[in-house]
Chain A
């Protein structure tokens, strides 16, 4: 599957959905779009990984960078929909300890808008 990005608004959150594989070839696009959204004032951000079938440390590093940037703007970032083998990258590095992760975008948006996104 080719890499792609899509931005939608849902339940008061901005959802950045990625599809395909996130690695050194594609992660810069994810970074660029996320940085653009944060700079535009989108401080409630969900990265939807349900369409991502591969993510390595380069993709993880980009998401860590987005988390830092969002927090600098007093915002909230959550990740939703990661398949087990993608989720494993977050768990092994323990980034999932500091980054709220949810099964679905809806769950992430509800948690963010209710101020309960500290637990995934």
Chain B
């Protein structure tokens, strides 16, 4: 089915635009459950926030590209930045919520949340940056 491509400046105020466009793209398929669109919005927000922050650190003027492909049973979203890249294997996961040190962690939840809300998540280095591929199925019945 159709592809939607969006480019946004790497600035926080454009994050809402990314969420709105991706949610609207998923809504083209009327059988996409609202709950799954909410899940998609979270996953895309996390991926795009990471991309924006990667650019912020570099004071880069490059843009973030967000590509959506709506299929029969799922939507695939790729968020690509030019923010220099990182090794997802080196990202430390926060401790359990009941761990006394957990409240020290105000950050670092983006990737774990992305993985929880999307059905498939792939983070891969690209030339000069990172691409995050997310797949969300239109209902939980289609999850693999």
- Residue positions of A touching B, CB distance < 8 A: 21, 23-25, 54, 56-58, 60-62, 64-65, 67-68, 71, 85, 88-89, 92-98
Contact = CB atoms under 8 A, between A and B. Distances in A.
Contacts of B35: 85
28 contacts: A21-B16, A24-B15, A25-B12, A25-B13, A25-B16, A54-B19, A54-B41, A54-B45, A57-B49, A57-B109, A57-B113, A60-B109, A61-B106, A64-B102, A67-B103, A68-B103, A71-B103, A85-B38, A89-B42, A92-B116, A92-B117, A93-B112, A94-B96, A94-B98, A95-B97, A96-B97, A98-B97, A98-B103
B97 A94 contact: yes
Contacts of B3: none
B144 interface: no
From DSSP, what is the main secondary structure of chain B's interface residues?
helix
Interface residues of B, number: 29
B86 interface: no
B113 A89 contact: yes
Interface of A is mostly: helix
Nearest to B38: A85
A24 B12 contact: yes
B109 A61 contact: yes
Contacts of A61: 105-107, 109
Nearest to B16: A21
Interface string B32-50: 0001001001100110010
Nearest to A90: B97
